[in-house]
Chains A and B, each alone.
Chain A
């Protein structure tokens, strides 16, 4: 039997490689399908479009302040006298949960703006202050009256591991009605 020519062998080899590459493509397609199915069945599936860790944290933080304000017990509140005393000493971190536009118009001196409607971004912005606060008491206020922003922010902080969080239910309404000192500007 005659030996196949060199050109025939090369062409046969090329055909083989092309066929093998086709096999690899098939394996890749099947693997992707299997991966997607497994992800679909997973209790915590990945979204199809990747989210950065920062974006995932933002979503998590935003979901925390979107929850109903039911977790804070009535005991975790302070009255005006206690709030005033805390605001005048340096040992308590005061947080204003109102939107920044109201904070800029006037806020309790020394307070930081951790707005409920911009919680994720403000939380990251204040991360150094919050980290430095450690176990320090935190008091959150908002407009007062039926305002729930302070409760939502306080609840989110408790969920994030801050143990000593209380709410000043009188809020900005009670503070300004008492003609107490006011700071303005966007110091946040």
Chain B
């Protein structure tokens, strides 16, 4: 059903993209305010070598904010969506690895909190939802770009 050049499904994509954008802008901005605590959260996973922890703690928050902003504009949406799908998948795998190793930590994903296993499971579920949402937006934006014949922004 087409109304005014947009279908219901276009609005679905817009709604999901805006929700994802808001979540990641919030998450990124919170980490930008507390880079030291976020670096400690990354270190608690005991996955990365020490030399990569601080660069990741400095780069990831701005990456999340940038991707959140890219989700807003239709021409850049699919880059933001793909980036967030990939990062959500990585967060998911990191959390699974920590849970399997019996670690109890604060992932620092959405603000600083106390280390807790139930919260880790909750954040794992949230990561799965964010991954699904980002993939949905990406695949739909890919289709929309193809249908419109528009060249991507990048």
Contact = CB atoms under 8 A, between A and B. Distances in A.
A32 B55 contact: yes
B66 A31 contact: yes
A24 B80 CA distance: 8
Nearest to A53: B40
Interface stretch (A14-22, A74-82, A141-149, A169-177): A14-22
Contacts of B63: 27-28, 31-32, 35
A23 interface: yes
Nearest to A21: B82
Contacts of B138: 20
Interface string A34-52: 1110110010101111101
Contacts of A21: 82
A26 interface: yes
Interface in A53-92: 53
Contacts of A52: 43
Overall SS of chain A's interface: helix
A108 B62 CA distance: 57
A102 B57 CA distance: 44
A6 B111 CA distance: 46
B79 A24 contact: yes
Given A24-B83, A26-B154, A50 B78 contact: no
Instruction: Give chain A's interface residue range (CB within 8 Å of chain B).
Output: 20 to 34
Given A34-B62, A46-B58, A27 B83 contact: yes
A24 B58 contact: no
A27 B58 contact: no
B92 to A, nearest CB: 17
Interface stretch (B31-39, B98-106, B119-127): B31-39
A30 interface: yes
A21 B152 CA distance: 12
Contact of A27 (B54, B61, B79, B146): B79
Interface string B51-65: 101110111111100
Contact of A24 (B39, B51, B86): B86
B59 A28 contact: yes
Contact of A46 (B39, B67, B79, B80): B39
Contacts of B61: 35
A52 B82 CA distance: 33
B41 to A, nearest CB: 11
Given A30-B66, A35-B61, A50 B39 contact: yes
B54 A50 contact: yes
Interface of A: 13, 16, 19-24, 26-28, 30-32, 34-36, 38-39, 42, 44, 46-50, 52-53
Interface of B: 32, 35-36, 39-40, 43, 50-51, 53-55, 57-63, 66-67, 70, 78-80, 82-83, 86, 138, 142, 146, 152, 154
Closest 3 CB pairs of A and B: A32-B59, A35-B58, A31-B63
